[in-house]
């Protein structure tokens, strides 16, 4: 019990959350195939299934105390693969009918992710930081991005357009930019703190 508290991340490889994360990764090509074949209902079902398994593996990891080092890599990797694939294919008008994600939104979503990855790599190489806790704005940004994909897939499944979608895109843009700005400012503050510690 005490060992679990001091070292919450285990070295186990085969855990239920990890298997669920692998399953979610395997769903990505299934999702892409459905989009390319213009099977909107199947694409929607696969995306919902992947999103639910994302919630499930996190729940199991916490409740069953199965958080592992591999899981800290697999879970975000599965999320990013699905979201990257979703935003790329749903930005192509020929594949996303009648609704598609604006190119400017996809570019900004990727720009934010690249900023975060660059900051994480810099922090790891500079002072060895390996864990990064998501902020409230970061979680809100992810929720907006996932919600945007879901609505586009849902409306395309129904074969209708909705006048509120431009506002959804703008909301996702606003929260994404706010999240990226917050991470950037936070990163600068941490960098200044580490430089002060080196000087002292």
Integer CA distances (angstroms), 88 to 32, 115, 148, 177, in order: 10, 18, 13, 19
Helix, strand, coil shares, percent, the chain, to 5? 75, 0, 25
Confidence (pLDDT) at 130: 65
pLDDT in tens, 70-113: 767 788 888 889 999 999 999 999 999 999 999 999 999 999 98
Confidence (pLDDT) at 116: 85
Confidence (pLDDT) at 83: 94
| Whether the bond into 122 is cis, omega within 30 of 0 | no
Burial class for 140, CB neighbours closer than 10 Å (0-12, 13-18, 19+): middle
Query: Phi and psi of 68, rounded to 5°?
Result: -130, 165
Report the C-alpha gap between 72 and 77 in whole angstroms: 9
Average confidence score pLDDT of the chain: 85
167 pLDDT tier (thresholds 50, 70, 90): very high
Confidence (pLDDT) at 2: 39
DSSP assignment of 137-171, as one string? HHHHHHHHHHHHHHHHHHHHHHT---TTHHHHHHH
Prediction pTM value? 0.85
pLDDT at 10 over 50: yes
pLDDT in tens, 37-73: 999 999 999 999 999 988 887 777 677 766 767 767 7
Query: Could you tell me the residue ranges of all domains in the chain?
Result: 1-89, 97-200
């Amino acid at each position: 019990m005490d060992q679990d508290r001091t070292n919450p991340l285990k070295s186990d490889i085969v855990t239920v959350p990890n298997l669920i994360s692998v399953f979610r990764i395997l769903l990505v090509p299934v999702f892409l195939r459905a989009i390319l074949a213009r099977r909107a209902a199947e694409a929607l079902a696969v995306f919902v299934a992947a999103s639910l398994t994302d919630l499930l593996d996190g729940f199991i990891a916490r409740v069953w105390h199965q958080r592992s080092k591999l899981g800290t890599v697999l879970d975000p990797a599965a999320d990013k693969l699905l979201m990257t694939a979703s935003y790329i294919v749903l930005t192509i008008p020929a594949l996303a009918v009648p609704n598609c994600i604006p190119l400017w939104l996809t570019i900004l979503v990727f720009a934010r992710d690249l900023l975060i990855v660059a900051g994480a790599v810099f922090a790891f190489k500079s002072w060895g930081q390996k864990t990064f806790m998501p902020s409230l704005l970061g979680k809100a940004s992810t929720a907006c991005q996932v919600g945007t994909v879901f609505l586009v897939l849902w409306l395309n499944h129904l074969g209708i357009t909705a006048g509120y979608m431009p506002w959804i895109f703008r909301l996702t843009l606003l929260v994404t930019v706010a999240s990226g700005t917050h991470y950037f400012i936070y990163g600068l503050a941490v960098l200044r703190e580490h430089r002060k510690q080196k000087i002292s």
